[in-house]
Chains A and B, each alone.
Chain A
Amino acid sequence: MSNPSIALETDLTHIFPDMIKSDERQGYEGYIVEPAQLVYFLTRLRDELGYDYLSSVTGVDYLPEGKMEVVYHLRKSTGGAPLVIKTQVARENPVVDSIVSVYPGAEFQEREAWDLLGIRFDKHPDLRRILMWEGFDGHPLRKDWREGYFEEDSKPFKSRWPDGHFKRSEQINPFGKNVDYPAGFDPETWIPEPETALYAGLDKMVRGVEETAIDTEQIIINLGLNIHPHTVYFEWRLR
């Protein structure tokens, strides 16, 4: 357990009175920032107050209040408890400024928030789905998203406890699998989108190519990774 006296030496609302306010909800800590001031505020925190290490970026879906919240945990590299900063946006079409320009480490975490919660990050260099595949229907971690085998919102399920009259999920779902498809979808006429975003991202990142004596071509290979680096097998995919 961290020592609260190391946590924050000063009350930040005194330094930035018009941008942030303290989080007053019961059991919560930290500060809530206006979404428009987010990047500016974090830049000043990093440069002036020494919070140079971003620990975590995560999103929370508050369905009853109609808000999406993005929570940042910042630390100083000299030590101490994390500082919690939050910003709140509306749940319909949530858009937040990306902080990749301030802390490059937020890149994958913001992509994950986009993928699972649907929070769009403005000016993110490469906002694509990271854990699910492109073309997946919906943002799974939202509170109103249900999967094929959905039974109840919280365990223990009434079908299991205390009486235990459960049915096998494969028998309830019409396909026998944990799947659900959108209405009116026709698998035979549907064309999958090509992975242009992935390769476009690769092209953008090409650094200076040095001239070598051997005449070499630029190709894209897929280093297919199994669970452990020691089971790498290569799948050559030429573009």
Chain B
Amino acid sequence: MTEGLNTPGYEIPPEMQGQVSITTLDRIYNWGRRSSIWPMMFGLACCAIEMICAATSRFDFSRFGMEIMRPSPRQADLMIVSGTVTKKMIPQIVRLYNQMPEPKYVLAMGACASGGGPFKEGYNVVSGVDEYVPVDVYVPGCPPTPQALLNGLIMLQKKIDTQSLKTVRWYSKTPDQALPIPVLGPDIMDPRQYALIKEYTQAKLEAQQAALQPPPEGEAAQ
């Protein structure tokens, strides 16, 4: 793996190639992080089975460094949202996302997590986890084969390779804001949209009251 690690342009004599590597801080930081991403065990539905298959011996993903799937969010780097995200479950997902320490990534696995999937019109289905949580990689499929999931993970690794210490979110000067947790009311409510909700329901109430009003005098006379 030291091929990607070495900064190009510097010649290392062959007898020292296994022992010496010349690299930049960004590269070695990214290399360390992308080679040991620990996913959080977060299987929701059918895609979870393909995720488990990707972890078993045939399509092993521990050869990419994702050896240990941690059940606790405090110890995980990657949340693989595999399966349909429902309104009842989304507060828990957002809570778990908030509990994950930086650097954290989210991979939306499958059609349901990417955009609702076959169940998009369902009244209890959130059409895509990216309505509430920022997603880094989308893996399409229903369910995506384990090979597709591995492709998605490799793409995430490539994305990590392009990140730089100067611009990365967790080392920035502004403190990290936790995402607001959606509330289960008459329908799921995103606290960031409260003003919009109030506007909408007020308009609806006024429209209903206007419909109940008797018609104006001119029309009744006709």
Which of A174, A186, A226 is close to B196, meaning CB atoms less than 8 Å apart? A174
Residues of A within 8 A of B193 (CB): 175
Do the beta carbons of A149 and B71 come within 8 Å of each other?
A: no
Do the beta carbons of B201 and A183 come within 8 Å of each other?
A: yes
Do the beta carbons of B205 and A184 come within 8 Å of each other?
A: yes
Whether a CB of chain B sits under 8 angstroms from the CB of A4 is no
Q: How far is the CB of B55 from chain A (nearest CB, A)?
A: 12
Contact with A along B32-63 (1 / 0, CB 8 A): 00000000011111001000000000000000
User: How many angstroms between the C-alpha atoms of A149 and B126 in the bound complex?
Assistant: 11
User: How many angstroms between the C-alpha atoms of A180 and B183 in the bound complex?
Assistant: 14
User: How many angstroms between the C-alpha atoms of A131 and B190 in the bound complex?
Assistant: 21
Given A147-B123, A178-B125, is A228 in contact with B196 using a C-beta cutoff of 8 Å? no
Residues of A within 8 A of B43 (CB): 226-228, 231
Question: Dominant SS at the A interface?
Answer: loop
| Residue of chain B at shortest CB distance from A137 | B186
| Residue of chain A at shortest CB distance from B207 | A183
User: How many angstroms between the C-alpha atoms of A39 and B188 in the bound complex?
Assistant: 38
Do the beta carbons of A183 and B205 come within 8 Å of each other?
A: yes
Whether a CB of chain A sits under 8 angstroms from the CB of B20 is no
Whether a CB of chain A sits under 8 angstroms from the CB of B172 is no
User: How many angstroms between the C-alpha atoms of A186 and B185 in the bound complex?
Assistant: 10
Interface residues of A in 98-154 (CB under 8 A from B): 131-133, 135-137, 140, 147-151
Do the beta carbons of A231 and B186 come within 8 Å of each other?
A: no
Contact with B along A149-178 (1 / 0, CB 8 A): 111000000000000000001100011111
Number of A-B contacts (CB under 8 A): 110
Residues of B within 8 A of A227 (CB): 43-45, 48, 83
Interface residues of B in 194-222 (CB under 8 A from A): 194, 196-198, 200-202, 204-205, 207-208
| Residue of chain B at shortest CB distance from A140 | B123
| Residue of chain A at shortest CB distance from B123 | A147
Residues of A within 8 A of B125 (CB): 178
Residues of B within 8 A of A181 (CB): 185-187, 189, 197, 200-201, 204
Whether a CB of chain B sits under 8 angstroms from the CB of A185 is yes
Given A175-B196, A192-B184, is A233 in contact with B205 using a C-beta cutoff of 8 Å? no
Residues of A within 8 A of B185 (CB): 135, 181, 185, 187, 190, 192
Do the beta carbons of B186 and A135 come within 8 Å of each other?
A: yes
User: How many angstroms between the C-alpha atoms of A112 and B197 in the bound complex?
Assistant: 29
Beyond A179-B189, A187-B197, 19 additional pairs, beta carbon < 8 A:
A133-B88, A147-B123, A149-B121, A151-B121, A169-B120, A175-B200, A176-B131, A177-B126, A177-B131, A177-B188, A179-B187, A181-B204, A185-B201, A187-B183, A187-B189, A187-B198, A226-B44, A228-B43, A231-B41
Would you mind naming 5 contact pairs between A and B with Cβ atoms under 8 Å apart? A137-B186, A175-B190, A181-B185, A184-B202, A185-B185
Measured CB to CB, the residues of A under 8 A from B are 131-133, 135-137, 140, 147-151, 169-170, 174-188, 190, 192, 224, 226-228, 231, 233
